[in-house]
Amino acid sequence: MYNRVPGAWLLWLLLSLPGLAQQAAAPEPAHAAPDLAHLLPAIAALPDSSRVDQLLEFTDVLVQGGRYEETAPTLREAAAVAQASGRPVLESRVELSQGYVAAQLADFAEALRHYQRALDLARAARDVPRQIRVLTRISGLSYQTRDWPPAIRAQQQALGLARQYHLPKAEAGVYGELSNLAGMQHRPAEALAYNNQALAMYRAQHDTVSYYGSLLNQGIVLKNLGRYAESARSYRQVLAYARRTRDSTFILYVDVNLPRTLLRLGQAAEAEQLARQSLALATRTHNLELLHEANDLLAAVQEQQGQYQAALGYQRAATRLQDSIFNQQKSQQLLATDARYQARARQAQIGQLAADNTRQQRQLLGLLAGLGMIVGLAAVLWRSNRQRLKANALLERQKAELQTQRDHTTQALADLRATQNQLIQKEKMASLGELTAGIAHEIQNPLNFVNNFADVSAELVAELKEAQAAGDGEEVAALADDLSQNLGKIHQHGQRAAGIVRGMLEHSRQSTGERQPTDVNALCDEYLRLAYHGLRAKDKSFNATLETDFAPSLPVVEAVAGDLGRVLLNLLTNAFYAVQQRQQAGEAGYQPTVSMSTRQVGGSVEIRVADNGTGMPAEVQAKIFQPFFTTKPTGEGTGLGLSLSYDIITKAHGGSLNVASQAGEGTTFTVRLPC
C-alpha cells in the first residue's frame, strides 16, 4: 500500500502542470517562462512602452503554455504601467490582452468589457488599425458563444473604418471574416459573395498568400453550395500554388478538402489517391484528426466503388479514431478547466492514504496513532470547512452570472425587436426606391397632357377674342366648346397624376392593417406598369414582353391595398430581374416575357406572376421565403422581400403564396386570397 503513494504523487504532479498535458499533444519545446519577480527589476529602467511590451510578451508566453490564470499579476502590472504613462494606445493593448485571457477562460462578459475598453482607448488614440484589430477580436468571441449578430455588427463597423481610412488590406480581411461568419450560419451564397470581394481585393493588392487562402475558402464555400466543378477548380489553383511554393500547410488543406468535392464529381480514383497521401502524412505525424479524416474519406471512396468490405474497415478505423480524438479532447478540456480542482481531489486521496498508513502504525505505537488521528481529523475538518466556503462563493458567483446572462438575453431580445422593425421599414423604403422611377414615368404622361392642353387653350382664348371682335358668333361658340373640353381634360389628367402620387404615399405609409374592398385587376395593372417602368428607368436597354390576362368580373377582395401592392411589386421586380439576368447571358433568340394573370378559383382570387427567366433549382426554392435569403449580389437585395411578402399574404390576408420553378426555364408565383 505504501508503494502506491509515490505513484499518486507523480499523477498529481502531472495534473498540476497544465503545460505538460499540452506538451504531450503538441511536441513543441516548452516555453521557458521567466519569473515575474525577476522580470520586474530587469525592465524597471526601460521606457513605458518597452515595459508594456515586455510584460505583454511575458503574458503571451504564459498564454501559450495554457497558464491563463497565472497571467493576472503580469497584466495588472502592465495595466498600471500603461495607465501611469497616460497613453491610451498602451492601455488599449493591455485591455486587449486581458480580454483575450478572459475569453480563453470562457468569461465572455468580462472579455467583452475589456475589448470594449480597448476599442474606446484605440479610438481615443486615433489608432484606426488598432480599432479594426479590436473589432476583429470582438467578432472572434462569437465563434465561442455561437452568437453571431454582435460579430456581424463588429465587422460592419470595421468595414466602415477600413473604407473611410482607405485600408484595403484590412478591408479585404473584413470581407474574409464576413464570409466565415456567413459560412458558420449556413448561408453559403452570402459567404461566397463576401469571399469574392476579399479575393478581388487581395488580387488587386498582390497579396498572394492571402489570395490563395481566400481561394481555398472559396473551394469550401462552393462545395457547400453544391457547385462541385467550380469548387474543384478553386482547390486545384491553390494546390498548384502550394506545390510551386512548397507550402505544406496549403497542400494539407487541399488534400483534406479536395477529395470530398472529387467524390461528388464522381472522380473517385483521384480522390482516393489524395486520401492515401493524407493517410500517409497523418501516420507519419501522428495527427489523430487527420488520420480520422483520411480514414473517413477512404471509407466514402470505397463505398462509392462498391468495395463495401474495405469501406467498412476504414469506417471502423475512423470511428475508433473519433473516439480517441473525443477522449483526448475531453481529457484535455478537463485538464485545462478543472486541473486545480482535480489536484485538490487527489490531495484529499493522498490524505486518506496517509491516514490509512497511520492506522497501521497505531497498532504498534498507540500514542503516535492517536496524535496522527487528531492531526488527520483537524486537517479534514479544516479542508471541509474551506471547501464549504468555496462552494458558497461559487454559488454566489454562479447566481451573479445567471443574473448577468438574463439581463443580456432581455437586452438582446429588445435589440432584436428594434432591428426587425428597422429592417421591415428599410425593405419598404427599398421597394419605394424601385417604384420611384416608375412613378416618375407614369406621372410624366398626365403632366404632359396638362401642360399641352393649357398651352393650346391659351391659343384658343386668343382666337376666341379675335372671333368675338369679328362678330363671328358661331366660331365663338365652337371655341368656347373646345375650351370647356380642354378644361375637362386638364382636370382629368391632373386627377390621374394625383392618383399616382396618392398610391405612392399609401405605399410608404405605415400600414394600418385595415382591409378595404380592393379591385385586384386594377391593382395588378398599376403595379405591373410601375415595376416595368421602374426597371426601364434604371436600365434603358431593357425590354420585355408584358402579357396580361385579367379575368373580367373578378370578385372584390378584402385587402390592405398598400401591403398587397408591395407583394405584387416584389414578385414583379423579381420576375423582371430573372428575365434580365437570362437576357444578359446572351442566349440567341431569347424573348424576355413577364406575364400576370388573375382568375377566380372556388372561394379565392388567384394572381399569377410568371416569367421565362433564369428559374431556380430546388434547393434555392426551398429557401426563398426565409428572411435574409437572397441570390442577388451583396447590396442589391435585402433578402427580406419574399419573406415579408409571405407574411403579408399568409398572416395578414389568410391567403397562400406558392412558387413553381424550373432552373433555366422560368418561375411562377401564385398568390391566393380568400374573397
Partner 1 sequence: MKILVVDDEPDVRVLFEQRFRREIRSGEFAFSFAYSGEEALGFLRAHPSEVVLILSDINMPGMSGLELLRHVKSDPLPPPPPLVMMLTAYGDAATKQQAEQLGADDFLTKPVDFTALRDKLHAIENR
Kindly state whether residue 453 participates in binding partner 1, applying the rule CB under 8 A.
yes
Between strands 656-662 and 593-601, the pairing is unpaired
Binding positions for partner 1, 469-488, rule CB under 8 A = 482, 485-486
CB of 437 to partner 1, least distance (A): 11
Dist. CA 182–CA 639, nearest whole Å: 14
Residue span binding partner 1 (CB under 8 A) among the ranges 66-74, 233-241, 543-551, 595-603:
543-551
CB of 596 within 8 A of CB of 607?
Answer: yes
**Cβ atoms 252, 282 nearer than 8 A:** no
Question: Taking Cα atoms as reference points, which of 310, 312, 252 lies closest to residue 284?
Answer: 252
- The answer to the question of residue 449 lying near partner 1 (CB under 8 A) is yes
Q: In the set 319, 324, 361, 445, which binds partner 1 (CB under 8 A)?
A: 445
Close Cβ partners of 223 (under 8 Å, ≥ 6 residues apart): 231, 257, 260, 261, 264
Burial 230-241 (b: 16+ CB within 10 A, else e): bbbebbebbbeb
CB atoms within 10 A of CB 654: 12
Size of site (CB under 8 A) for partner 1: 22
User: In sequence order, which residues have a C-beta less than 8 Å from that of residue 251 and are 6 or more positions away?
Assistant: 239, 242, 243
Query: Looking at beta carbons only, is 340 or 538 nearer to partner 1?
Result: 538
Burial state string for 196-225 with b = 16 or more CB within 10 A and e = fewer than 16: bbbbebbeeeebeebbbbbbbbbbbbbbbb
Cα–Cα distance, 515 to 118 (Å, whole number): 53
> Is 662 a binder of partner 1 (CB under 8 A)?
no
**Closest among 187, 176, 87, 169 to 140, alpha carbons compared:** 176
Q: How far is the CB of 592 from partner 1 (least distance, A)?
A: 13
- The CA distance from 218 to 198, in Å, is 10
Q: Is 460 in the site for partner 1 (CB under 8 A)?
A: yes
- To which residue does cell 490524505 refer? 351
Asked if 550 interacts with partner 1 (CB under 8 A), we say no
Least CB distance from residue 493 to partner 1, whole Å?
7
- Closer by beta carbon to partner 1, 128 or else 535: 535
Stretch that binds partner 1, among 59-67, 126-134, 415-423, 538-546 (CB under 8 A): 538-546
Q: C-alpha distances in angstroms, 244 versus 238, 248, 274?
A: 10, 11, 18
Helix, strand, coil % (nearest 5) of the chain? Answer: 75, 5, 20
State which of residues 249, 540, 552, 635 lies at the interface with partner 1 (CB under 8 A). 540
Nearer to partner 1, 379 or 437 (CB): 437
- Stretch in the footprint of partner 1 (CB under 8 A) among 36-44, 454-462, 505-513, 584-592: 454-462
Smaller CB distance to partner 1: residue 362 or 529? 529
Task: Name 26's Cβ contacts closer than 8 Å, sequence gap at least 6.
Answer: none
Please report whether residue 353 would count as binding partner 1 according to CB under 8 A: no
493 is an interface residue for partner 1 by CB under 8 A: yes
Q: Which of 11, 380, 456, 620 binds partner 1 (CB under 8 A)?
A: 456
Residue range at the interface with partner 1 (CB under 8 A); choices 161-169, 212-220, 451-459, 602-610 = 451-459
Residue 180 φ/ψ region, left for φ over 0, alpha for ψ in the -120 to 50 degree band, beta for the rest: alpha
Q: Give 105 or 437: the residue with its C-beta nearer to partner 1.
A: 437
Q: Using CB under 8 A, which of 248, 398, 448, 484 touches partner 1?
A: 448
Residues in the chain: 675
- The answer to whether residue 597 forms part of the interface with partner 1 (CB under 8 A) is no
Q: Does 127 bind partner 1 (CB under 8 A)?
A: no
Are the C-beta atoms of 182 and 220 separated by less than 8 Å? no
Q: Rounded to the nearest whole angstrom, what is the least distance from the CB of residue 614 to partner 1 in the complex?
A: 23
Give least dist CB 444 to partner 1, A.
Answer: 6
CB of 114 or CB of 493, closer to partner 1: 493
Query: Is residue 541 close enough to count as binding partner 1 by CB under 8 A?
Result: yes
How far is Cα 537 from Cα 543, in angstroms, rounded to an integer? 11
**Least distance (Å) between residue 541 CB and partner 1:** 4
Q: Minimum CB separation from partner 1 for residue 143, in Å?
A: 49
Q: Tell me if 488 sits within 8 A of 450, measured CB to CB.
A: no
The three grid cell numbers given for residue 514, joined into one nine-digit string: 385595415
The one segment of 121-129, 314-322, 338-346, 447-455 that binds partner 1 by CB under 8 A: 447-455
Decide if residue 444 touches partner 1 (CB under 8 A): yes
The least CB distance from residue 523 to partner 1, in Å, is: 17
- 90, 77 Cβ separation under 8 angstroms: no
* Complex with partner 1: residue 460 or 620, whichever CB lies closer: 460
Closest CA to 329 of 277, 292, 295: 292
Q: Which of 83, 327, 451, 468 binds partner 1 (CB under 8 A)?
A: 451
Min CB(455)–partner 1 separation in Å? 8
Q: Which of 430, 546, 551, 652 binds partner 1 (CB under 8 A)?
A: 546
- If one asks whether residue 584 binds partner 1 (CB under 8 A), the answer comes out as no
Please give the residue ranges that form the binding site for partner 1 (CB under 8 A): 441, 444-445, 448-449, 451-453, 455-456, 460, 482, 485-486, 489, 493, 536, 540-541, 543, 546, 548
